[in-house]
Structure 1
Amino acid sequence: MNLVSLKVDRADHVAEVTLLGPGKGNAMGPDFWRELPEVFDALDADPDVRAVVLTGSGAHFSYGLDLPAMMPSWGGMLGGDSLAGPRTRFLDEIRKLQGAVSAVARCRKPVIAAVSGWCIGGGLDVIAAADVRLASAEATFSLREVKVAIVADLGSLQRLAGIIGEGHLRELAFTGKDITAERAERIGLVNDVLPDQAAVLAAARELAADIAANPPLVVQGSKDVLNHVREQQVADGLRYVAAWNSAFLPSKDLGEAVQAFLERRPPSFSGE
């Protein structure tokens, strides 16, 4: 593949997928959303790959959705007086992004996320679709969508309840607050916290090697069984939130959030 936003390395039955950006902090723009499902579908089909490590280049896993890069294609879909046509196109766009994240979950090879630095919004959606999450001590996590007047619609609200529990999920979703790696481990978002970026990547590689040493069809079968009920429920929740956002996302508050982001100032929300 001729990839722009991701790099894939393979060795000893383990594939390592690294987020490259090109947005600052590995922000997720159009290239990322196009390439993520291509990469994970290819890894799923590759009989030589038995486990996957997913990590970010540079100091951070991902700043999340690259709003400046995505908004030009969304502008005509999000006008306050948009009718059925633009909103249907936006519904299709949401479903496309959801499908990209779900490619990580439906990949039959176990996926271990190695997280350093910031993991915000879309970054959290992606690691929620992984099987195991490890973090370095300075890692920071945030379900940030509420801060930009968006209902999180790419899987965090559906997948994290089974990972961290309803109470913790609702707190993160309603506040958009940042949490440390220490708290992420305490609530079960990550399995382990390592001292630094090098250590977390080494631990993820070691775990992937342990998985790859086991009978591959049995490991894949275990993932399939574990995902069976959860992913059915996730799919239903994703359909609902996609319909909700295509109907209600266009708002003055969303416009204010984007403008405040571009102007680097705090937003002032009106509830309109």
Structure 2
Amino acid sequence: MSILRKISGQGIAAMKKTDLLLRARNCSNISKELNFETLSVKETRPFVFHVELNRPEKLNAMNRAMWCDIGKCFTALGDNPDCRVIVLSGAGKIFTAGLDFSDSSSLTSAFEEHADVARRCNALRKTIKLYQDSITSLEVCPKPVISAIHSACVGGGVDLVVAADIRLCSSDAWFQVKEVDIGMAADVGTLQRLPRVVGSDSLARELCYTARKMLAPEAKECGFVSRVCDSRESVVNAAITMATEIASKSPVAVQLTKRSIVYSRDHSVQEGLDHILDWNMTMLQSEDFMKAMMAQATKSPPPAFSKL
């Protein structure tokens, strides 16, 4: 029996070693694939990816390249079985200054290339739709997205974080829906998502009509963020710690939970119940459910779950 145990132990050790080697190789491949001009992407913990807005010299202002990178990045991570949770933060002094006005080529080109108003509108529509889809990529990504915000989060930055699942911020953070100050209405998600996030139509309208700054204490009080930390470093660490805990759970359970929450937000209670009913009649047959139930019943440590 002892020989069998020894052989079994050697087999398990070999499997673990092989798994580690494969994981290291996969992580290397992933880092190569997720190479973006305006974002820094790295796996900070097993199954936890950290995405940083990475134009610190430009205060992370959102140029066309960044809008495109965001959409591609969250779509890729959504399809990546090695990713279960995403932390989003900004490099440098602030989270983001919002739209990069020095990169106006995508807007002005419509006027330069077309004399006809219909054709200019068609070109602008394509650009706006590109930016909308970029922001929506966080919401439709099946993996939870935790935003860790420090200092200024302006204009397009608010669009970005309201599409995330969870928002944490530093004590020096402030938020500003800036668009009315530049003669336009926010058009890539804030007007649609902010009232639902704060749960107050009145407050959302006030912020959007006045373009005033909302500081961290008010953001916490109204539920815009769920936690305020001391500094940029502490808020990023808190987000990674939270992401690590979520990543230890069943990816089947977590991803279906996100899918159901997003669906139910835009549908009636009964439609939401029908939606989860149709999904769970399949998901309750998953090995994740069996493993978790057995661990609970036997008071065993939480199980390790396979990639999804």
> Under a length normalisation based on structure 1, what TM-score does the superposition of the two structures give?
0.81
Of the candidates 98, 114, 122, which is equivalent to residue 132 of structure 2? 98
Task: Assess, with a 3 A threshold, how the Cα gap between structure 1 residues 169 and 175 changes in structure 2: closer, same or farther.
Answer: same
Report the counterpart of residue 190 of structure 2 in structure 1.
Answer: 156
SS in structure 1 of the partner of residue 196 of structure 2: helix
Q: Summarize deviations over 1:82-137 as a string: whole Å, max 9, x none.
A: 51011111011111100000001111000000000100000010000000000000
Segments ≥4 residues shifted beyond 2 Å? 76-79, 229-233
Q: Summarize deviations over 1:160-216 as a string: whole Å, max 9, x none.
A: 111112111100000001111111111111001011111111110111011111101
Q: What's the offset of the Cα at 1:73? A: 2.6
Report the counterpart of residue 247 of structure 1 in structure 2.
Answer: none
Report the counterpart of residue 125 of structure 1 in structure 2.
Answer: 159
Unaligned runs of 5+ in 1: 234-272
- Residue-pair matches, total: 232
Contact 1:23 1:66 in 2 (8 A): no
Task: Assess, with a 3 A threshold, how the Cα gap between structure 1 residues 168 and 82 changes in structure 2: closer, same or farther.
Answer: farther
SS in structure 1 of the partner of residue 252 of structure 2: helix
Report the counterpart of residue 256 of structure 1 in structure 2.
Answer: none
SS in structure 1 of the partner of residue 102 of structure 2: helix
Contact 1:50 1:109 in 2 (8 A): yes
SS in structure 2 of the partner of residue 141 of structure 1: strand
Q: Does residue 228 of structure 2 align to residue 193 of structure 1?
A: yes
CA distance in 2, matches of 1:199, 1:171: 30
Report the counterpart of residue 217 of structure 2 in structure 1.
Answer: 182
Q: What's the offset of the Cα at 1:30? A: 1.4
Query: Which residue identity lines up with residue 148 of structure 2 in the other structure?
Result: A
CA distance in 1, matches of 2:101, 2:70: 18
Higher-Rg structure is: 2
Task: Assess, with a 3 A threshold, how the Cα gap between structure 1 residues 139 and 131 changes in structure 2: closer, same or farther.
Answer: same
Report the counterpart of residue 16 of structure 2 in structure 1.
Answer: none
Q: Does residue 106 of structure 2 align to residue 73 of structure 1?
A: yes
CA distance in 2, matches of 1:82, 1:116: 43
Q: Summarize deviations over 1:50-81 as a string: whole Å, max 9, x none.
A: 10100000121100110121x223114358x8
Query: Which residue identity lines up with residue 203 of structure 2 in the other structure?
Result: H
Of the candidates 222, 228, 238, which is equivalent to residue 203 of structure 1? 238
Task: Assess, with a 3 A threshold, how the Cα gap between structure 1 residues 149 and 23 changes in structure 2: closer, same or farther.
Answer: farther
SS in structure 1 of the partner of residue 254 of structure 2: helix
SS in structure 2 of the partner of residue 53 of structure 1: strand
SS in structure 1 of the partner of residue 167 of structure 2: strand
1:44-63 correspondence runs (5 A): 44-63=78-97
SS in structure 2 of the partner of residue 67 of structure 1: coil
Q: Does residue 180 of structure 2 align to residue 146 of structure 1?
A: yes
Report the counterpart of residue 226 of structure 1 in structure 2.
Answer: 261
Q: CA RMSD in A?
A: 1.9
SS in structure 2 of the partner of residue 68 of structure 1: coil
> Under a length normalisation based on structure 2, what TM-score does the superposition of the two structures give?
0.72
Report the counterpart of residue 16 of structure 1 in structure 2.
Answer: 50
Contact 2:35 2:41 in 1 (8 A): no
